[in-house]
Structure 1
Amino acid sequence: MSTPQLDVYGFPAADPKATSASPFTTKIECLLRLAGLPYRMHVVTNPGKTPRGKLPYLEDGTMTVSDSEHIVAHLKAARGVDLDVSLTPLERAQSHALQRMIEERLYWIIVYSRWIDPANDGAVYEQFFGSLPPVLRGLIYRSALKTTKAALHHQGLGRHTADEIYAFAARDLEAISQTLGDKPFLFGDAPTLADVVAFASLTNMLRPDFKTALRGLVEVRPNLVAYETRMGALYEDGASIRSSSQ
């Protein structure tokens, strides 16, 4: 019996070598590329029509898996993908803590920097909604902005000032920088799942299409800039295993 096709549904990227503006979509694409698992990418612009109302999600044969963390667990169980196989129990615990910091706080700071920070006024509108018909673009954008503001407020980050929010980011980025040190990757000479998660956020912070204070906070840490470039080269090297549904 042949192995089922892997189909990934996520926010779009301009081309196979580019990263998605969604850290979580980038995370899954990067993991599949490092694992050498061919996949087909499906561009989705309306997460409201997905199985759980969020992106990315994965179809592996007849099985549908939503949420990037569940996708990682599925790929480990069903396809044997485990970038952390060489880590010690202590390193696995440290990796888990790093991932939670990045995905549960830094992610929301990325969201704030794009949607709320006045420096990015109009960037989200063009990046995420520019391809929609003009009659729908403004309506959907305003609805999404209202939802995003509410989510940031309920999460707690939206209750802080901009200076406080970017101070949080600086501390988190310094933690990643100190963990990395002068090593090629966070836990040594080979990339692990923590590297996939860190790269997905760092490359989004360094995107030139969003004017954000986060970019400067990364750029003052040269080891993070070099690290993002190193991971980016691995990501681009895996572009050939991605096919497109379009």
Structure 2
Amino acid sequence: MLTLYSYPDLFGVADNNGYGLKVYAFFKLAGVPFVHAHIFDASAAPRGQLPYIVDEGETIGDSEAIIAHAIAKYRLTIDAALSAAQRRTNHLVTRMLDDLYWVMSYSRWQDDRYYPAFRDGFIAQHPQVSAEGFEKAKAYNSQRYHYQGIGRYTPEQAYARGLADLKVLAEMVPAAGFVHGASPTSCDAGIYGFLANIHYFPIPTPLKAFVDAHANLVAHCERIHAMLSPASQSSSQ
């Protein structure tokens, strides 16, 4: 059976990283059977990044490559009805979420107003992680942010980028249903991966304040979240 390797769960979401949660949500929504293995150390992953999958001996990294592999191999129809214009929208949303990732990550690890709550919440749920180990991860992420560029912004400048991304989502996510209609597609799984990691985290960042103030974003997040619950999965089978 296919195995998904991703970061641990946190605050009620199945993966505290937007990319891993995106793949998890996609598999659930598309009906792909899989085993979910949570790991902390990404050193053995392709390019040293999570998530990745092992499917009948084949190892694949990168969330978009994983989704493309699953659609082709298992002949998934979740995106089959999308028009060319809708597929272009999906591509643009994916790239925008890549930008939002850095701001969301920055809010947890770099901004000292919110880092202690993130650290304490994570260690409380995963006590096998030491405070010393968490500080090493913080230093590592600080280097990543510097070289990527977001670490050279002031907090206000960094959040302005993320809020601009969220504003676009708030303007395109419907109050009912999903981005492309009555049924969710891979686009909705991707949006959920990031919104859930903002909405369900009890850390009052500017990103969370924005999401929680927009009923359509909250409703979309909660619709997908409910569809992924064990009760929903069992009732649909």
**Does the TM-score normalized on the shorter chain lie above 0.5?**
yes
Q: How far apart are residue 95 of structure 1 and its match?
A: 1.3
How many angstroms does 1:171 deviate by? 1.6
1:171-204 deviation digits (Å, cap 9, x = unpaired): 2111111112434111111111111100110000
Q: Is the Cα contact below 8 Å between 1:180 and 1:187 reproduced in 2?
A: no
Q: Deviations over 1:3-32 (max 9, x none)?
A: xx11111112269x7421111111111111
- One-letter code of the match for 2:157? E
Where 2:35 maps in the other structure, the secondary structure is strand
Q: Does 1:236 align with 2:236?
A: no
User: Secondary structure in 2 aligned to 1:46?
Assistant: coil
1:34 equivalent in alignment to 2:29: yes
1:244 paired residue number: none
In the alignment, the residues of structure 2 paired with residue 80 and residue 92 of structure 1 have an alpha-carbon distance, to the nearest angstrom, of: 17
**3-state SS of paired residue (1:122):** helix
Gaps of 5+ in 2: none
TM-score with structure 1 setting the length = 0.86
Q: Which runs of 4+ in 1 moved over 4 A?
A: 127-130, 237-241
Are 1:227 and 2:194 matched, yes or no?
A: no
Give me the CA root mean square deviation.
2.2
Is the contact made by 2:175 and 2:219 (CA closer than 8 Å) also made in structure 1?
no
Judged with a 3 Å threshold, the aligned counterparts in structure 2 of structure 1 residues 68 and 240 are, in CA distance, closer, same or farther, namely farther
> Secondary structure of 1:109's partner?
helix
Secondary structure of 2:228's aligned partner: helix
- Quickly say closer, same or farther: Cα 1:69–1:207, change in 2 above 3 A: same
Deviation at 1:111, TM superposition (A): 0.4
CA contact (8 A) 2:172 2:179 kept: yes
Name stretches of at least 5 consecutive residues in structure 1 with no aligned partner. Answer: 242-246
CA distance in 2, matches of 1:144, 1:44: 14
Pairs aligned (count): 232
**Bigger relative contact order, structure 1 or 2 (CA pairs below 8 A, ≥6 apart):** 1
Distance 1:204 1:18, change over 3 A: closer
What is the TM-score when the length of structure 2 is the normalising length?
Answer: 0.89
Corresponding letter in the other structure for 1:12:
P
Identical-pair percentage = 29
How far apart are residue 157 of structure 1 and its match? 1.6
2:143 matches 1:150: yes
Q: Determine helix, strand or coil for the equivalent of 1:90.
A: helix
Distance (Å, rounded) in 1 between the aligned partners of 2:199 and 2:72: 33
Q: Is the 8 A contact 1:55 1:67 kept in 2?
A: yes
- Matched residue, 2:89: 94
1:111 counterpart (83, 105, 111): 105
What amino acid does structure 1 have at the position aligned with 2:128? L
User: Matched residue of 1:71: which SS?
Assistant: helix
